Amino acid sequence: MIIARSPLRISLGGGGTDLASYYQDHEGFLVAAAIDKYVYVTTIRPFTPGIFLKYSKQENLGLVSEVQHPIIREALTFLQLKTPQIELTTLADIPSGTGLGSSGSFTTALLKALFTHYHRPLQQAELAELACHIEIERLHEPIGKQDQYIAAYGGITSFVFQKNGQVIAQPLQVSMQTLFELEDQLLLFFTGFSRSAGSILKDQNTRSKQSDKEMLNNLHYVKELGYRSKEALVSGNTHHFGELMHEHWEHKKRRSGGMSNSQIDQWYQLALQNGAIGGKLVGAGGGGFLMFLAEDRTRLRKVMSQAGLEEVRFRFDFEGTKITLSS
């Protein structure tokens, strides 16, 4: 049995500049952090030939081409396994569509499990890039490279997305004191809304490709905020980082009318009035998790709970995608 585990993530600055429609002309930059909420993929070799899949559905098949789950189908196709003998199960700590990068986490965990199952080595950069290849090039999803890379690498990491498609990953030199402060002060609350990032990112993609001035200026500014967020984190100025989160959210909302809604705006203002320095919706927007940096955590937790939002507590993950069991 093989068990692979891949962390979910939170974006800390510069999100949106990891799409090819932007970085191929302007170079992208962002900071992200992996958290201790995971997607798991298990594989075993069954006694009988075939492909046995257990996720939100069950599939019992004979050929890779018959697999309905697109990411699993493309991963098996890439491995050139026309008639494999494998049973594969997936689990997750948090549902998909909540803005924590679950698709990228699933793809990296899946590839890590499959490559280990068939005794093929796969390093971090190879894993991240192959996951991007599956989702972006094979399946034509209108997404960026952030989720796959932070899942593969883990930690609090900055990424430069070069014009030629290469990605430079650099762990942030953050002090232990700053790490403890971030883990204490960053709070995640589930809005109750799940959403697909596809429609919002598709609009961003289209407008970027058309050199839409408003969109490009927005992304240029958000990229600069990413660099400023990195500086705040490295210097240990968490209060200023919270202020940058607020500035980032105000600019992020302008990209699309579907980024927020009246209920999310109401919760956000409630948080600012009750201990939050700044915050934003994690992910492409439209639903999922609200994240705040708060110095008065008790007060914020109380009002968010009264408003009906459930908190998900977390710590950072510094291991990235890994095999937790191989037998």
- Tokens, residue 233: 């984190």
- Residue 142, domain extent: 2-172
pLDDT in tens, 198-241: 566 666 667 767 777 888 999 999 999 999 999 999 999 999 99
- Classify residue 79 by its DSSP letter: T
**Lookup: tokens for 11:** 């974006």
Residues 125, 238 share a domain: no
Last residue of a domain, one of 172, 197, 224: 172
**In this structure, are 154 and 15 located in the same domain?**
yes
Last residue of a domain, one of 120, 149, 172: 172
Cα atoms in the Cβ-side hemisphere of radius 13 Å centred on 86: 25
Distance between alpha carbon 148 and the CA centroid of its chain, in Å? 7
* pLDDT at res. 251: 87
Say if 324 falls within a structural domain. no
- When divided into structural domains, the chain yields a total of 2
Taking only the tens place, the pLDDT of each residue in 31-47 is 999 999 999 999 999 99
Q: What would the two tokens of residue 288 be?
A: 């999922």
Cα–Cα distance for residue pair 233/160, rounded to 1 Å: 17
CATH number for position 290: 3.30.70.890
What the block records as the tokens of 299 is: 């007060």
If you average pLDDT over every residue of the chain, what do you get? 93
Residues 119, 233, single domain; the answer is: no
First to last CA, the chain: 5
